[in-house]
Structures are given as structure tokens and as C-alpha cells.
Amino acid sequence: MSRHLFKLFNLAKPSFKFARSALTMSKPAKIGSLMVSSSLFGLLYLKQSFQQPTFTESDWAEVETINASDLQEGEMKEVQVGPTKDDVILISKVNGKYYASGAKCTHFGFNLAKGILIDNKVICPLHAAAFSVQDGLPDEGPVYDGIPTYEIKERDGKLVVKVPKVLQMRAQIPMVGRDEKDTRKFVILGAGPAALSAAETLRQSGYGGEIVMITNDDALPYDRTILTKNLFKVELPKISIRDQAFFDKYGITVLTGKQVGDVNTQDKTVHVDGVGCVKYDKLLVATGGRPRLPPIPGADFKNVFTVRKFHDVENIRKAAQGAKNVVIIGGSFIGMETAANFKGEFKDNVNITVVEVNEVPFARALGRVVGSFYKDWYEQNGVNFALGKGVKAIEGSGSAQHVVLEDGTKLPADLVVIGVGVQPNSEPVAKSLELAKDGAVVADKYLKTSDDSIYAAGDVASVPYWYTGGREKIEHYNEAIQQGMIAAHNMLGKQISHETIPFFWTRQFEKSLQYVGYGRLFDDTHVEGDLKNFNFIAYYSLNNKIVASASMGRSPAAMILSHAMQIGVMPTMEEVRSGQVSIEDIKKRIQEKKGKSTCKRGACLHKKAQAAQAQEKKE
Ligand SMILES: Cc1cc2nc3c(=O)[nH]c(=O)nc-3n(C[C@H](O)[C@H](O)[C@H](O)COP(=O)(O)OP(=O)(O)OC[C@H]3O[C@@H](n4cnc5c(N)ncnc54)[C@H](O)[C@@H]3O)c2cc1C
Ligand code: FES
């Protein structure tokens, strides 16, 4: 696909009118330039180069698009504004006004028109990224950048937009840089999504003090969710989120390959190996988690792996060459995605067995009915299961050769992958902060820990979950980004509480499942639809209250359900089971009740950063 999406208008095209003569000088879009760098899962993976384009008068064009009457209230339409099918923008109608914006999600470039418009937000149906169609700001999801917005007006019944000839897909949220006069120093432990989101939120909020991010990984922040979705093909540069130029531009120091030791809350210092003591005024613990290793003999053999970092994937790929028998311990997300990757890559040249202590895979998260569906589906794809069985040992001499189950069964193994859960990396603060039983750092609804100067976000944090009233360690990518954002606001003295509905996705054999809510505890499951045809919604409830839902092939049902939970219009399990309330009814309930205002990225931003950006442009 061409980098230049919109070079010349095709004047012969009857449906578009190129009105070059009508151009007037317009504001440069508040957008970053875009490089389309590779294709991933058949979708575009878009990578930002961080040079703000400077548009001149001749770079813009007015384009006549659809009839205003073709768009009803609450509707959106993808409209082609240039010669190729990729030259598209999105036109939406909200509260009687028309808005023109980018049409592609800034995560993997998916067409936003296939999603859903709720209030002024367009929500991507794949992984729940939400963008305001009014200002393009991203509110939620696995994204860091917004979408561009364009001028739109009605002329003689037609909607006319002013767009640049080279369409941009991203709009970077305005950020300030380092202000040397600001003597504050905020230190962020980790460089995962929670950490990166926090650092960017600080700059977006006008914070000019020092920001130091410290990670023991050798790489700048990258999207680790892809590691087990594309295990044999993923390349680090393509999943890297921000490059060094970005961190330099915004004055964010990232120390890579550095192990954080103890945090001293008295002196307000962090010990960093090879660096010494680093002082902080405010600290964010965003150290995530690491794969839990079960206490079984042989788990330390060199051909036994876990998956968390990019180098894990590299090691697995090397060991996989020539492996005939692969045993995967753990039938949940990491284990099942890994099994699907092996099957996809090596087909029948490899025997794969998933060992799971429960009777079906995904039992804890998705329950018995959906778990059984996954089991049957995987078996049809040639994956074997050893279910209801624990592992006694991994045996071998020098390297693993067998996985021995508790019933004495010996599974031959040239390679073993363990995916049995995540343990929080809370050691640096274990002596100084309150920890939950599972080792997570206890934080309040503002993500503040037991020390007033220290916040926690992401997989390492145990947070109050407003929807159920419980306390959870929610190990999801979007959640880490959201928590990092909230923690950063509160580090700056705001009082923003954590009130989101978690979202998670998984993808195997080209099919995606979307999960909303958090159903660690549920006592009832109802599945509507057809599991065998990958077209269903599963509801999970506790005491008749729906706490989570998993769906496949029903996009954008997950987005509707998530929103219904957020604004309190979710039906009871009884209502859903009896057929009284369908997904369409839930959508209507949403339209009828305006949502309560929760802190999302765009909505929470401080105007100072935007003002600073405007100033920068003037200069
Ligand atoms: C293979 C895989 C696939 C996944 N797929 C999905 C998915 O499809 N959908 C989804 O929602 N979620 C998925 N997840 C979960 C998601 O990636 C995590 O929830 C998210 O990464 C958590 O972000 P975080 O910033 O809290 O922690 P992390 O991403 O774990 O980042 C923690 C950072 O802290 C650093 N660190 C830790 N300890 C130290 C120390 N002592 N010193 C210095 N640095 C330290 C680490 O190097 C890292 O930079 C997946 C996870 C994995 C591993
Ligand atoms: S492609 Fe839109 S959220 Fe992932």
C-alpha cells in the first residue's frame, strides 16, 4: 500500500468534485505524519514517524461528498475522498451536527465505520479503541494516538470536507516537552503500556518536569500482546510503539536494560543496577508481571520456555526448529495462543499437547461451555489435550525430554512452553508498600499506594473494581493503558478514580474472541448463538448480575455490552436468558440513557498542553 494515500484526485470520478479553486488557507491539522510499515494479520500496522507535516494552501482540497440527508442522527459513513479505495474519511452525525474525521483505527488501521458510534465516540470493533469524532482524541483502547479531524460544511444539500491531498491517519495528542525550570522529578518503574501511557499523559497534561522510565527489558516500549498472536513472524521494530526520537523530542528519559532494586520511601530513592540511587518526587510502579513458574522439577531446563518478552519469542523460534513434540503447560490465553501458533506454523509436522489441570481449556475465564467449544475446535485443528491433569515433573538429561503428569503419563517433549499465570513484579516495593496476598501492590481507586508519593498501575497493581465492589489485579493491555493514564493525572494532584470496564481479546486460527467486564467469580453462564459457527455471545453472571461477556463473530456486541455495563443499563441474567432483552434492546437502552462521565484520555486532558502546542505552532 502506498505511503501517499492521497496523491491526486481523479477528476474523471463522477461522485467527487475536486474544488481546488475554492481552497482557502486553513489551519494545519494537529496530526503527526504516518508511515505504513507492514501488514499484520491482514490488517495494517501503522507506525508513526513523528514529523509534523506542514500543509500549505495548495496541499488542501475541498471535496463534495454525500447528501446531508443521507446521514441520520447517530449514523456514520465511510466516504471516499480521493482516487483509491484507501482515500477514505469518516463522516458522522451527532446531535444534529456533522463531523469529518479519520476513518482508520490507529491501532491496526481497521475501518472504524465497521464499529459503532456511541454519543460522539466511534469505537473500533476489534479491540475497543474509542475516538471522539469531534476532536479526534482517543479515549480508550490499545492506542496512543488519535485520528485527524477535518472541516466539514453543508452546501446545497451536500456535505463538503476540506482534506489534505495526502491523508494522514494519526493525530498525535499535543504534548509539552521538558521545561528545565520545572524541578519536579517523576520516576516510572517499567516501560510497558502502563508506564508509557503515564509518561505521555504527564506531557499531555502540561507537566514539564523530569520523567525517567526504567526497564530491565532491552527494548523501548513495544506491544507484547502480538507475541503470542504472531509468534513465528513478529519482528520487534514493527511492534515498537515509540522510537527514540519521540522520547528525545518530549524530554522523556528511558533507561533500558536496567534492573530496579529496592525503593527507599524515606529517602525517596530507587536503586537501579549500574546507575545507583535515583531520586524521585513521585513514583509510579508499573513493573507488570512475569510468568509464574510452577514448582515442578525440570522447569529450569533450557528447552522450557515462558512468553513475556520479545527475546522469549526469539528463543522459542530457535528451539522450535526440528522439534517434533511440543508440550504446552496451561490451557489459558498464553498457552492456547501459543498452541495455535505452533499448529499454524508447523501443521502436521509437530505433535502438540496442551496440559490443563481443569476439565476444559479457558475454564476459569470462559467457563465449561465455551471451554468445551475451544477444546473441540482445537482438536479439529489437530491439537491434543491432557485435561484434568496436573504436571508432576519435567524429565530429561540436560534438557527436557518428557513431561510427566500426576497420573504417571509421560508425554514426549522436545520443547515445553509454560503459561500458567502471571506473578506481579512487586519486589522493588515489597518492603515499603502494602501488598495483596497475591503479591500485587495495593492501590486505592485513585491508584495511590500505601505511600502518598507512590502510585501503581497495570498488571502489578491490585485495584478496587467499582463494578463488582471487589479488588482485582486486571491483567489486560487496554486496562494497563487506562490505569497508567489515571495514575499520571493523580500524580499531578487530580482526584480521578478508576472506573472503567475491562476489555480483553484473544485470537487463534484467525478467529477473535472479545471479552468485556471481569468475571473472576461467576455462578452462571448463558450462551446465545451458535458456538460451532463462531457466532455467539456468552454472558457470565454472579447472583443474577452480569459481570462479564465473551463474544465471537458478533461485532460490535462487545462494545455495546461494555458501554451498557459502564452506564448501568446492563440487563440481568434472567432477562437475557429468557430472551426478554436482546443485544438490540441493550443498544436502545444505551441510546436512551446518556452515560455518566468517567475519566477517559481525551476527556481528561488538561488544556495547558494544547495551548502549549498551539503556541509552538505559532512560533
Ligand atoms: C504474550 C502475551 C500476550 C498478551 N495478549 C493480550 C491480549 O491479547 N489482550 C490483552 O488485553 N492483554 C494481553 N496480554 C496482557 C498485557 O500484555 C498486559 O496486561 C500488559 O502488558 C500489562 O502492562 P504493564 O505495563 O502493567 O506491564 P508489562 O507490560 O509487563 O511491563 C512491565 C515493565 O516493567 C519492566 N520491569 C519489571 N520488573 C522490573 C524491574 N525490577 N526492573 C526494571 N524493570 C522492570 C518490564 O521489563 C516491562 O518493561 C498479553 C500478555 C502477554 C505476555
Ligand atoms: S484495530 Fe482498532 S482497536 Fe485494534
Which ligand 1 atom is nearest residue 258's CA? 43
Which ligand 1 atom is nearest residue 507's CA? 8
Q: Which of 124, 144, 225, 601 to mutate to test the pocket of ligand 2 (most atoms within 8 A of CB)?
A: 124
206, three cell numbers: 502540561
State the angle between helix axes of 310-320 and 333-346 in degrees (0 to 180), rounded to the nearest 10. Answer: 40
Q: Residue 559: which H helix or E strand, with range?
A: helix 557-567
- Res. 530: pLDDT tops 70: yes
Say if residues 473 and 520 touch (Cβ distance below 8 Å).
no
| Residue nearest to ligand 2 atom 1, measured at CA | 108
CA proximity to 197, closest of 139, 131, 239, 117: 139
Q: Which of 225, 226, 426 to mutate to test the pocket of ligand 1 (most atoms within 8 A of CB)?
A: 225
Q: What does the pLDDT average to over 578-582?
A: 94
Q: Residue 341: which H helix or E strand, with range?
A: helix 333-346
Q: Which of 39, 41, 43, 105 to mutate to test the pocket of ligand 2 (most atoms within 8 A of CB)?
A: 105
Which ligand 2 atom is nearest residue 124's CA? 2
The pLDDT, as a whole number, for residue 41 is 29
Say if residues 195 and 284 touch (Cβ distance below 8 Å).
yes
The pLDDT, as a whole number, for residue 96 is 96
Q: What does the pLDDT average to over 200-209?
A: 96
- Res. 91: pLDDT tops 80: yes
- Res. 586: pLDDT tops 70: yes
| Residue nearest to ligand 2 atom 3, measured at CA | 127
Higher pLDDT, 191 or 53: 191
SS (H, E, C) 358-381: CCCCCHHHHHHHHHHHHHHHHHHC
Which ligand 2 atom is nearest residue 105's CA? 2
Q: What does the pLDDT average to over 487-495?
A: 96
Pairing of strands 545-552, 535-542: antiparallel
Among the bound ligands, the one closest to the CA of 231: 1
The amino acid occupying position 330 is G
Q: Which of 224, 341, 472 to mutate to test the pocket of ligand 1 (most atoms within 8 A of CB)?
A: 224
- Res. 376: pLDDT tops 90: yes
Q: Say how many residues make up the chain.
A: 619
SS3 276: strand
How far does the centroid of ligand 1 lie from the alpha carbon of residue 424, in Å? 10
CB-based pocket (< 6 A), ligand 2 = 105, 107-108, 110, 124, 126-127, 129, 141-142
Residues of the chain with CATH 3.30.390.30: 503-592
pLDDT tens digits, one per residue of 404-430: 999 999 999 999 999 999 999 999 999
Higher pLDDT, 536 or 600: 536
Higher pLDDT, 403 or 322: 403
| Residue nearest to ligand 2 atom 4, measured at CA | 127
CA proximity to 102, closest of 22, 158, 169: 169
- Res. 16: pLDDT tops 90: no
Residues 6+ apart with CB under 8 A from 590: 118, 560, 563, 564, 567, 569
- Res. 492: pLDDT tops 70: yes
Among the bound ligands, the one closest to the CA of 102: 2
The pLDDT, as a whole number, for residue 23 is 24
Residues of the chain with CATH 3.50.50.60: 185-290+424-491, 304-420
How far does the centroid of ligand 1 lie from the alpha carbon of residue 298, in Å? 25
Residues 6+ apart with CB under 8 A from 414: 303, 319, 322, 323, 324, 325, 326, 400, 401
For residue 294, the 8-state DSSP code is P
CA proximity to 518, closest of 476, 571, 482, 552: 476
Among the bound ligands, the one closest to the CA of 225: 1
How far does the centroid of ligand 1 lie from the alpha carbon of residue 422, in Å? 10
Confidence label for 5 from pLDDT (cuts 50, 70 and 90): very low
**Count of Cβ atoms closer than 10 Å to residue 580 Cβ:** 11
**Count of Cβ atoms closer than 10 Å to residue 109 Cβ:** 21
The pLDDT, as a whole number, for residue 59 is 85
CA proximity to 523, closest of 558, 548, 560: 548
Distances (CA, A) of 518 to 138, 432, 515, 550: 23, 29, 8, 10
pLDDT tens digits, one per residue of 277-317: 999 999 999 999 999 999 999 999 999 999 999 999 999 99
State the angle between helix axes of 583-592 and 557-567 in degrees (0 to 180), rounded to the nearest 10. Answer: 50
Which ligand 1 atom is nearest residue 217's CA? 47
Among the bound ligands, the one closest to the CA of 199: 1
* Sheet with 138-140, side-by-side order of all strands: 116-118, 121-123, 130-132, 138-140
Question: What is the C-alpha separation between 541 and 564, in angstroms, rounded?
Answer: 15
Rg of the chain over Cα atoms, rounded to whole angstroms, equals 25
By the 10 Å C-beta count (0-12 exposed, 13-18 middle, 19+ buried), 21 is classed as exposed
Confidence label for 233 from pLDDT (cuts 50, 70 and 90): very high
Confidence label for 520 from pLDDT (cuts 50, 70 and 90): confident
According to CATH, the superfamily of the domain at 185-290+424-491 is FAD/NAD(P)-binding domain (3.50.50.60)
Lowest mean pLDDT among 138-142, 231-235, 589-593, 607-611: 607-611
- 304-420: CATH topology is FAD/NAD(P)-binding domain (3.50.50)
SS3 464: strand
Helices assigned H by DSSP within 444-512: 477-491
The pLDDT, as a whole number, for residue 58 is 78
How far does the centroid of ligand 1 lie from the alpha carbon of residue 280, in Å? 23
Pairing of strands 470-472, 391-397: unpaired
- Res. 14: pLDDT tops 80: no
Distances (CA, A) of 39 to 7, 123, 129, 166: 21, 22, 19, 20
SS3 603: helix
Say if residues 468 and 542 touch (Cβ distance below 8 Å).
yes
pLDDT tens digits, one per residue of 423-473: 999 999 999 999 999 999 999 999 999 999 999 999 999 999 999 999 999
| Residue nearest to ligand 1 atom 53, measured at CA | 308
Confidence label for 617 from pLDDT (cuts 50, 70 and 90): low
Residues 503-592, CATH architecture: 2-Layer Sandwich (3.30)
CB-based pocket (< 6 A), ligand 1 = 190-195, 214-217, 224-225, 227-228, 259-260, 286-289, 307-308, 334, 425, 428, 458-460, 475-478, 480, 504-506
- Res. 495: pLDDT tops 70: yes
| Residue nearest to ligand 1 atom 7, measured at CA | 225
Question: What is the C-alpha separation between 614 and 619, in angstroms, rounded?
Answer: 9
Mean pLDDT (the chain, rounded): 89
Among the bound ligands, the one closest to the CA of 478: 1
Residues 6+ apart with CB under 8 A from 256: 191, 215, 217, 218, 219, 220
| Residue nearest to ligand 1 atom 14, measured at CA | 225
pLDDT tens digits, one per residue of 176-187: 999 999 999 999
- Res. 565: pLDDT tops 60: yes
SS3 546: strand
The pLDDT, as a whole number, for residue 286 is 98
b/e map 559-578, b = 16+ CB within 10 Å: bbbbbbbbbebbbbbebbbe
How far does the centroid of ligand 2 lie from the alpha carbon of residue 127, in Å? 5
Confidence label for 46 from pLDDT (cuts 50, 70 and 90): very low
Which ligand 1 atom is nearest residue 226's CA? 3
b/e map 356-371, b = 16+ CB within 10 Å: bbeebbbbebbbeebb
Q: Which of 121, 126, 516 to mutate to test the pocket of ligand 2 (most atoms within 8 A of CB)?
A: 126
Confidence label for 329 from pLDDT (cuts 50, 70 and 90): very high
